[in-house]
Amino acid sequence: MIKENQRLFNFINVVLDALMIVIAFLLAYYTRTQSDLLPYQESITFYEYLRYLVIILPIFIACYFWTKVYTPQRLKSITNEIFRLA
């Protein structure tokens, strides 16, 4: 069953990874501009920040494909995957 639906699982992984990157990017912007955790100096607008996201998101996903994050991992160990990502 899993083997037959591998393409669907891979697609879901790509979509979820992209969503997590977008959320992380937005949280980073919020942390920089709205929270008191970091001193903020107005240097970039939200729309400029989103333009960077449009550039960075495909690069991240391409890197994940390049490092074979989305290949089936049924026969590989977790340490193998960690070293490949590092």
pLDDT digits (tens, 9 = 90+) for 39-71: 777 778 889 989 999 999 999 999 998 988 888
| H-helix segments, 1-86 | 6-33, 46-66, 78-85
Residue 63: predicted pLDDT: 93
Under 8 Å between Cβ of 33 and 40: yes
Higher-pLDDT residue of 78 and 33 is 33
pLDDT at position 81, please?
A: 67
Q: Are 70 and 13 in contact (CB under 8 A)?
A: yes
Which of the listed ranges 8-12, 32-36, 40-44, 73-77 does the model predict with the highest average pLDDT? 8-12
Cα–Cα dist 72/12, whole Å: 13
- Which two tokens mark 13? 């992984």
* Dihedral angle over CA of 3, 19, 80, 68, nearest 10: 60
